[in-house]
Structure 1
Amino acid sequence: MTDYAASTDFATSAAPADVVRRQYLASAAGDLEALRATLAPDVEWTEMAGFPLAGTYRTPDGVTANVMERLGADWDGWTAHDDTYVTDGENVVVLARYTATNKATGKPIDVRVAHHFTVRGGLIVRFEQFVDTAKVREAMP
């Protein structure tokens, strides 16, 4: 596997899969500034109906405040483990897995997920999540 973080080309690449990968790396590191840097000013970020944070969020600050910061407040070790990328032009579909432990219940999750990103001009302009929301809710109070 390529060490993406060490590659200067990767760090500045506008290729859709590279932009998406930087978003996952920033999220896993808890680096919200770097994560916001991958998002377009008018980003539309949709968490699936039935997911605890269901809804569509706009702006990089809106996404990090309403999704990443809330996940961090409610879950220990929330991580999206990206493993398979399917790219078609500006569209990137990522098959991944969420792992975390709910802070209130102590129950862990290990759930498969698919994410659809649209990347234009080196920034994520749209995100849509697909996940088994029942598995996530089973770990919650």
Structure 2
Amino acid sequence: MGLTMSEFATSTAPADVVRRQYLASAAGDLAALRATLAPDVEWTEMAGFPLAGTYRTPEGVTAGVMERLGEDWDGWTAHDDTYVADGENVVVLARYTATHKTTGRLIDVRVAHHFVVRGGLIVRFEQFTDTALVRDAMSR
């Protein structure tokens, strides 16, 4: 039996917290996304990715990653499809889709995300993706 919407909204189960993060991101609700992140979150975008680096604090993550993706891409979405949960670790297999605003090129690329959730908040995130496909879409 699944959770009710109110149970899901307050669940501290790691996979539920991660799923709320994806839903908030897809809805463009940065406040709801920040609410899933620990104050000392470490959010790492993969080396070679346009926003490569580690971002800290919920505000740092949304300003440094989500808002910047929105500036450069139309319809940036992470489509989460498979969850593998082991204690505080949640690995999500997903797909990024978006159109680069300058080049008009579309991306449709697989991605894996590793989250660590403690106390109902995401404390760590690491991205794995084919950065060359993303960079190619940004090139004229």
- TM-score (ref. length: structure 1): 0.96
* Residue of structure 2 equivalent to 1:74: 72
SS state at 1:139 partner: helix
Unaligned stretches of 5+ residues in structure 1: none
Deviation for aligned residue 1:115: 0.1
Name the SS of the counterpart of 2:123 in structure 1: strand
Corresponding residue for residue 45 of structure 1? 43
- Match of residue 130 from structure 1: 128
The equivalent of 1:28 in structure 2 is 26
> Where does residue 120 of structure 1 map in the other structure?
118
State the shift of 1:131 in Å.
Answer: 0.2
Structure 2 residues without counterparts, runs of 5 or longer: none
Report the alpha carbon displacement of residue 127 of structure 1 after superposing the two structures with TM.
0.0
**CA-CA distance at 1:17 after TM superposition:** 0.1
Tell me the CA shift for residue 85 of structure 1. 0.1
Q: SS of the residue aligned with 2:12?
A: coil
1:94 alignment counterpart? 92
Partner residue of 1:11?
9
TM-score, length-scaled by structure 2: 0.97
Calculate the aligned-residue CA RMSD, in Å. 1.0
Alpha-carbon distance, 1:38 to partner:
0.1
1:135 is matched by which residue type in structure 2? L
Residues in 2 aligned to 1:116 and 1:9: alpha-carbon distance in whole angstroms: 24
2:96 maps to a residue whose letter is Y
